[in-house]
Amino acid sequence: MIPINAVFGLGLLLFFIGLFGVLFRKNLVIMLMSLELLLNGVNIIFAGLSHSLKSPRGAIFALFVILVAVSEAAVGFALVLSYFRSKKTYDVDEMNELKG
Amino acid sequence: MINVLIFYFFAALALVSAILVIVQKNAMRSVLYLAFTVLSTAGIFLSLQAEYLAAIQVLVYGGGIVVLYIFVIIIVNLQEIKAERRKMFPKLFIFTLPAVLLVQIVNVLFTNRSTPPAGTETGLDFRTMAEMLFTNYLVPFELASILLLAVLVGAVIIARRRLVNDPD
Amino acid sequence: MFVWIPVFPLLGTLLNGLFGIKYFSRRAVHSIAVGMAGMSFLASVASFIGLLSSSEPSTVKTLFTWIPGSLVHLLGGRAAQVSFDLAFRYDSLTAVMTLVVTGVGLLIHIYSIGYMSHDKSYARFFAYMNLFTFAMLILVLGANLAVMFIGWEGVGLCSYLLIGFWFTKDAAANAGKKAFVTNRVGDFGFLLGLGLLIVTLGTLDTAGITAAAEGGLLSPGLATAAALLLFLGATGKSAQIPLYTWLPDAMEGPTPVSALIHAATMVTAGVYMVARLHALFTLSGTALTVVAVVGVLTAVYAATMGLVQNDIKRVLAYSTISQIGYMFVGLGVGAFSAGVFHLMTHAFFKSLLFLAAGSVIHALSGEQDMRKMGGLRHRLPRTYPVFLIGALAIAGVPGLSGFFSKDEILTAAFASKHYFVWALGLVGAALTAFYMFRLIFLTFFGAERLDPDVGRHLHESPRVMTLPLQVLAFLAVAGGYIGLPHVLGGGAWFGKFLSTSTGAHEIEISGGAELLLMFVSAAIGIAGILAAYFVYAKKAGAPAARFAERFRTLTKIVSHKYYVDDFYSHVIVGGVKKLGLALGWFDAHVVDGVVNGAAALVRRLSKISIGFDQEVVDGAVNGIGSVSRLISQGLRGLQTGFVYNYALSIVIGIVIIISLVVTIL
């Protein structure tokens, strides 16, 4: 049996690594990759819970999370592509046209 | 026993790759390390006896998203970006907030929980999971397929080149 | 049958009034008017014959209920259903009146064809004349006082219309107004009298009133009050003291109008009314005395004024007032039939006199001042004789109608021991003879004092005018004989005939005394004529002039009509006008002042309210807007546009949510 706390710790660490990546990087693409890290971390926690509670529900939820992650990644890429075509940049600091 | 070892091995691999993902300057290398992270996660799933999940992870994440990232990087022709120093105040914020979050989550996760109700122990095998997917969670399953359809169409529309005679 | 009598003149009025003015030729107009008058006369004659041959002394024909019954609480505790019908009564008195009105009226209508032939409002004149005839007939045919009042008002209206016929002339318009207003004052008394009768008897039916009075249902006091009030109306209509002032001014109207209205008919309406209500008046000795005294005083008073007039028509006007006074004397001493008798004869000779005067005026191209006449008896061979007949009749020369009627009145006065009245009546008779023959001598005798222009155009009146004159002259002579008293061998048929409607009046006087009185009044009349002859014919008015010189003040007073007119216009009319002005000032200043003050107050209040609205209310609304703006300014800062800021916000959000979840759980 894998201790659940270890799973938790791993998941948390991955989550926070992804979080730092999102907050600290200026490169848009790398930000998006960090998002994947976030989601992976969460999935690990779900799988761990599923394992410890002996129920497939956690796995199912993780499945759905992957699904959403894929959708979001696809749409995000499309946006990046179209933005890059017009602006020729992927520096998030320069993406401030929504300034209110 | 083997399980535990596999778990720790893949866990360490995942962590290292993750850190490498976010600190790379080169986007291509970040993608590579992302691939590593994804595969490590698949291994973790295996060790946690979520075989289906591991398989999906490899297929979708590894085969789909990572490849997608590579394509984007090629198309966009990513160059290295010189990191600019951010101002102090935001940096402080950026550190403290996640810290607070960490504390809170740790609090929640590691406190003692009440035992879950008895009826949820149904077994981790694939068959049970499939059954549950198609009975209890049928609606989200179908909705998910619709979502994928929408994403498919939407992504194509958003990403296509603007034509001169485009009625949009 | 008798209901038809007023229908013809009404038809004539409508035809001439609605269409005649625009569409009919002159011939058509006067044919209609005279034709209708003639038909009306025939109807009167037929009704008269019918009355003679029937056994009913009086017939009543009700057309419809005019005012339906309502319960009225009478004085004295009873309650009665009071209703007024449009009903007509025909009895001997009505017969006399209708015959006089329609007969004399017909003659005057014929005369008018000639007199008004040059006038441009030909149709209007005849329409009004027919209307007047209609109204007068309604008056005399009325079975109750309400219907009589309709006629009463109607003749007043027509008098106004006809006096002011030439309304473009100021004097005529004012005269019409004066007539109407003076009449109105009298009508006020009449209406009060009507009201009193309603609340005491509950009916205005003349037969009902007669029955009530004779049956003792009416107290003498109330009877006196009602009678005096009604008599006030009569003084207005019949131009007695105090409401006579309109009649002399009414001479502004065309001469046929003066003849018809102010000689024969309208002015006699008062006499008719008193005669009709003889029972009521008899019940109150006071009222009768008042009537007699007023009558005789008026008779003398008006006669004195007739002495000094220079306008031929004015002399006749004052003469009319005076003669009507005599009629009232007859009524007042209880000899109702005598009064009506004099009414009839007066209609004959007065209208004759007026029409003849009109003929003179017409011949003289409109000249009315006697000082500019003279010696016309040769120039106007057809007018002069009839004029003379009329003058003789009015002077009371025996043999003519005027003598019989006037004498009957005076005898009745004497016999009922009203000696003072009788004496004054004699004085009046003398004066009458005198001023009448003054007129004759000034106009027809002596040297011609005509204007040269007038003299050149002098022409006798056309046949159409002189023929009615001759008919009237005949009546003036012969009309008296139907009342020939017993003592002279006659049957006094008139009195007997009339007694069915006016009550029998027995005069207690011996035949000898009656003859003596007759002689006295005849002598008085002839004396007057002789005196006039001496003064005016023989000595060309010199004695009169000397008299006027010596008694200059007296002459001045008389010729200014005793200043009564001036008194009325200054004191009464002026007083009313001043009151009106005072009230007007009050209204403009006091009442309007209050209203304007209220308006100013409201205006000030509204200013305050506006200020409140602008400052406070708008301030609150604007304040809210400012607050929103401030908040939004602040919140704008969050939209930096930087992605990482948004990511940070997400993280912050997660932190907050987790804290919330943790703390709640």
For chain B, the structural domain boundaries read 1-109, 124-168
Instruction: Give the model's pLDDT for residue B55.
Output: 92
Residue B87 predicted with pLDDT over 60 = no
Residue C491: strand, helix, or coil: coil
For chain A, the domain total comes to: 1
* CATH assignment of the domain containing A44: 1.10.287.3510
Q: Could you tell me if C648 lies within 8 Å of chain B, comparing CB atoms?
A: yes
Residues in chain A closer than 8 A to B2 (CB atoms): none
Q: CA gyration radius for chain A?
A: 17
| Interchain CB distance below 8 Å, B48 and A81 | no
Nearest CA to C79 among C192, C209, C201?
Answer: C201
A93 domain residue, yes or no:
no
Q: Which fold has domain B1-109?
A: Four Helix Bundle (Hemerythrin (Met), subunit A) (1.20.120)
- CA B77/CA C225 separation, integer angstroms: 133
Reported ipTM: 0.85
| Interchain CB distance below 8 Å, A100 and C636 | yes
N residues, chain A: 100
- CA B37/CA B20 separation, integer angstroms: 10
A54 domain residue, yes or no:
yes
Residues in chain C closer than 8 A to A99 (CB atoms): 639-641
Look up residue A49 and give its DSSP letter.
H
| Interchain CB distance below 8 Å, B41 and A44 | yes
CB C409 within 8 A of CB C322: no
Worst-scoring range by mean pLDDT, A94-98, B103-107, C54-58, C395-399?
Answer: A94-98
CB B124 within 8 A of CB A58: no
| Interchain CB distance below 8 Å, A16 and B98 | yes
Q: Which helix (H) or strand (E) holds C71?
A: strand C58-73
Q: At what angle do helices B67-76 and A57-87 cross, to 10 degrees?
A: 10
Q: Could you tell me if B74 lies within 8 Å of chain A, comparing CB atoms?
A: no
Q: How would DSSP label each residue in C536-572?
A: IIISTTHHHHHHHHHTHHHHHHHHTGGGHHHHIIIII
| Interchain CB distance below 8 Å, A36 and B38 | yes
A97 domain residue, yes or no:
no
Residue A70: domain span: 4-88
Mean pLDDT split into 10-residue runs, chain C, 665 residues = 77 79 75 84 85 73 73 68 79 84 88 82 85 89 86 88 85 85 86 84 76 72 83 83 81 86 78 84 81 86 83 87 87 82 87 87 78 77 85 84 83 80 86 86 77 71 78 80 64 66 62 77 83 72 66 68 69 78 78 80 85 79 84 76 74 82 74
| Interchain CB distance below 8 Å, C651 and B101 | yes
More confident residue, A43 or C80: A43
Residues in chain A closer than 8 A to B35 (CB atoms): none
A98 domain residue, yes or no:
no
Helical residues (DSSP H) of C116-169, grouped into ranges: 122-141, 145-163
A100–chain B nearest CA distance, Å: 19
CB-nearest partner of A97 from C638, C641, C647:
C641
Amino acid sitting at position A83: Y
Say how many CB pairs under 8 Å bridge A and C: 32
Query: Which residues 33-62 on chain A approach chain C with CB closer than 8 angstroms?
Result: none
Task: Give me the residue label for tokens 């007296």.
Answer: C554
Query: Which residues are CB-contacts of C536 (< 8 A; sequence separation ≥ 6)?
Result: C437, C438, C441, C442, C445, C446, C544
Q: Mind listing the pLDDT tens digit for each residue in A51-87?
A: 887 888 888 899 999 999 999 998 988 888 888 777 7
Which of A1, A8, A17, A92 is the best mutation test for B, with the most CBs of B within 10 A? A17
A27 domain residue, yes or no:
yes
Instruction: Give the model's pLDDT for residue C386.
Output: 86
Instruction: Give the model's pLDDT for residue B151.
Output: 92
The answer to whether the Cα torsion of C127, C133, C136, C137 is positive or negative is negative
CB C180 within 8 A of CB C159: yes
| Interchain CB distance below 8 Å, B49 and A36 | no
| Interchain CB distance below 8 Å, C655 and B93 | no
More confident residue, B90 or C355: C355
The DSSP bridge partners found for residue C502 are none
Q: At what angle do helices C463-478 and C92-115 cross, to 10 degrees?
A: 150
Which of B51, B53, B102, B157 is the best mutation test for A, with the most CBs of A within 10 A? B53
In terms of CA atoms, which chain A residue is nearest residue C643? Answer: A92
In terms of CA atoms, which chain B residue is nearest residue A10? Answer: B11
**Left (φ > 0), alpha (ψ -120 to 50) or beta: where does C240 sit?**
beta
- CA C462/CA C175 separation, integer angstroms: 29
Which of C636, C639, C642 is the best mutation test for A, with the most CBs of A within 10 A? C642
Amino acid sitting at position C195: G
Instruction: Give the model's pLDDT for residue B88.
Output: 46
Residue B84 predicted with pLDDT over 70 = no
Instruction: Give the model's pLDDT for residue C665.
Output: 66
CB-nearest partner of A96 from C638, C641, C647:
C641
A96 domain residue, yes or no:
no
Provide the Cα torsion C210, C211, C216, C222; round to 10°: -40
- CA C227/CA B166 separation, integer angstroms: 115
A67 domain residue, yes or no:
yes
CB B27 within 8 A of CB B78: yes
Q: Could you tell me if A12 lies within 8 Å of chain C, comparing CB atoms?
A: no
User: What band does B85 get if pLDDT is binned at 50, 70 and 90?
Assistant: very low
Instruction: Give the model's pLDDT for residue C166.
Output: 85
Which of A26, A29, A79, A98 is the best mutation test for C, with the most CBs of C within 10 A? A98
User: What band does B51 get if pLDDT is binned at 50, 70 and 90?
Assistant: confident
Q: Which helix (H) or strand (E) holds C420?
A: helix C419-444
Cα distances (angstroms) measured from residue A25 to each of A19, A92, B16, B18, C653: 10, 9, 18, 14, 20
CB C161 within 8 A of CB C128: yes
More confident residue, A46 or C618: A46
Q: Could you tell me if C62 lies within 8 Å of chain A, comparing CB atoms?
A: no
Q: Phi then psi for C364, rounded to 5 degrees?
A: -90, 20
Residues in chain B closer than 8 A to A8 (CB atoms): 109-110
| Interchain CB distance below 8 Å, C655 and B104 | yes
A94 domain residue, yes or no:
no
